[in-house]
Amino acid sequence: MNLDLHGHFWLPAHEAERVRGRLTWNAASGGELTLEGFLWHDGSPSKSADLLCGRGLDGTPLALVRSFLRRFQSSAPLTQHWRVNGAFLGTFDAEPSTHVLATEVDGLGAFTRTSGLAVQGSNGARDPVHITWSPADPPLSLPAGEGRLKIVDERQLDLDQDRFAVGHVQHLRLTMPQADGWSQVAGRLGIAAGLLELLADRPMAVRRQWRPSEEEQGCIDHFFRPVVGSAPDDPDKVWLTLAHVEGRLGDALRRWTELADAQRHLVSLIIEEVRLRRATNSVDRILRLTRILELLHRHRHPGATPEDDDEADKVNTALGAVPEELQGWLGDRLGVTIIRLRQRIRETLAELNGGLDAVVVEVDLFARTATKTRNWHTHYGDPKGVATGEYAAYLAVRLWLVVRAAILLELGWPPSEAVELVHCDPNAAWSALKPIIAS
């Protein structure tokens, strides 16, 4: 969004001391405010301001946020040049009663599977080119706590001399009427985007983020997010689309948000697997995925291990340092009921009513191999039965299938539907043909 606006600007509660100025903005470099005079605070020129108020010559209210003085001229004519990091149009309040935050993420269209309009032509043609835009209803609109999450189609028209291009992009928009500041809104929107990344099973890098006003008059905010994670080879390849999950997505978002609040480390590991697995070796993936399975099983079946994560890690470290046949005895002495990884894997597969048994080929051997491989790379010991080389890669693929099925259970899908969705991944059929470990 580009902006060139003349008007008057002042510090909050000091409109009588307003100064004429010009606000310019472009997406590449952000905003700059040039004032024909000084803004004063306690008898000295101001050097920074969390909020500056303004009004365009057309009467448009403005709220400029996170601004600081870059340079000034103290001789006539007096001028100040301010760097502006955010601008709200149509309001003097940078913390409105209703917060609206929008973010454009790469790959959202592959998940929604909506057909985008992309028309090109020449302005110099003798016959006029007629373009009809028929926007559909928002592909997604569902409750998100006290607010609402939408996927919004944004029209784009680019003109370059005698050429033009018409298209659209989609962005996520979260509206929260009772938010505790912008950081809470950004956190909730990030959690929602993480769920879509999980369901699509591909990174969705944030390209831009901004704060539209509630009245849709617009807002510009200059802060960029880095591209995190390695993009898939096929940008249109996703695990699930919106059509697969739309009926249960509202409840899934509620459960996912609750899971993020209760088990932030677990959700972070899940998103890490989605974003980084293509750049992670098989062994590190196995360690991460077995940890996810442990934390998710513990969350779904509380009371079997210490509630405190640090305490649970200490117990697991102590148990891993002794032979397997002594672990039950040591657990009794420590006063905890120990559920080993092997049992957690079996119970997770049992919750799926055997729907993934063919994918893991042999439940007991799969659980035992995953446990021994995790233990070997954590505590060392006997290397017999540890998956290495290509078999470690097969194990990581199977673990990710099981983990996603378990997550779907936690998000409210019945076992049969969770299994059906997992089988939408071609790796499910492929895994059934591969051995677990070298014979």
Indicate the residue among 66, 89, 112 that finishes a domain. 89
76 and 103: one domain? no
141 and 71: one domain? no
- Report if residue 202 sits inside a domain: yes
CB–CB of 153/170 below 8 Å? yes
Instruction: Kindly list the distances between the CA atom of residue 141 and the CA atoms of 74, 137, 147, 416, in Å, as whole numbers in the listed order.
Output: 53, 9, 11, 26
179 and 245: one domain? yes
Low-confidence ranges of the chain (pLDDT < 50): 115-116, 118, 132-136, 214-231, 307
Continuous segment of H or E residues that includes residue 165: strand 163-176
**pLDDT digits 0-9 by tens, 156-203:** 555 555 666 656 678 888 888 877 777 788 889 989 999 999 999 998
pLDDT at site 331: 66
> Please, what is the average pLDDT of the chain?
81
Nearest CA to 23 among 38, 37, 46, 4?
4
**pLDDT digits 0-9 by tens, 232-290:** 555 568 899 999 998 999 999 999 999 999 999 999 999 999 999 988 999 999 999 99
- Report if residue 326 sits inside a domain: no
141 and 189: one domain? yes
pLDDT at site 101: 81
Indicate the residue among 64, 89, 114 that finishes a domain. 89
| Separation between Cα atoms, residue 182 and residue 103, nearest integer Å | 13
- Report if residue 182 sits inside a domain: yes
39 and 139: one domain? no
pLDDT at site 332: 66
Environment class of 401 (CB within 10 Å of its CB; exposed 0-12, middle 13-18, buried 19+): buried
Residue 123 has φ and ψ, to the nearest 5°, of -70, -15
149 and 260: one domain? yes
Nearest CA to 61 among 125, 141, 5, 135?
5
| Separation between Cα atoms, residue 184 and residue 192, nearest integer Å | 12
- Report if residue 248 sits inside a domain: yes
- Report if residue 41 sits inside a domain: yes
Question: What letter does residue 15 receive in the DSSP assignment?
Answer: G
| Separation between Cα atoms, residue 336 and residue 353, nearest integer Å | 28
Question: What letter does residue 64 receive in the DSSP assignment?
Answer: E
- Report if residue 286 sits inside a domain: yes
Residue 164 has φ and ψ, to the nearest 5°, of -140, 160
79 and 119: one domain? no
115 and 187: one domain? yes
Taking each helix axis from N to C end, the angle separating 390-410 and 341-351, rounded to the nearest 10 degrees, works out to: 60
- Report if residue 290 sits inside a domain: yes
Residue 393 has φ and ψ, to the nearest 5°, of -65, -45
Fill in the amino acid letter for 287: L
CB–CB of 155/105 below 8 Å? no
CB atoms near residue 390 (< 10 Å) = 12
- Report if residue 308 sits inside a domain: no
61 and 114: one domain? no
28 and 104: one domain? no
pLDDT at site 221: 45
Nearest CA to 257 among 139, 413, 149, 151?
149
13 and 116: one domain? no
Fill in the amino acid letter for 421: L
| Tally of CA atoms within 13 A in the half-sphere of 424 that contains its CB | 19
176 and 269: one domain? yes
Q: What are the beta bridge partners of residue 7? A: 21, 56
Taking each helix axis from N to C end, the angle separating 282-300 and 363-379, rounded to the nearest 10 degrees, works out to: 110
Range of the domain at 154: 98-123+135-206+227-278
> How many distinct structural domains can be found in the chain?
3
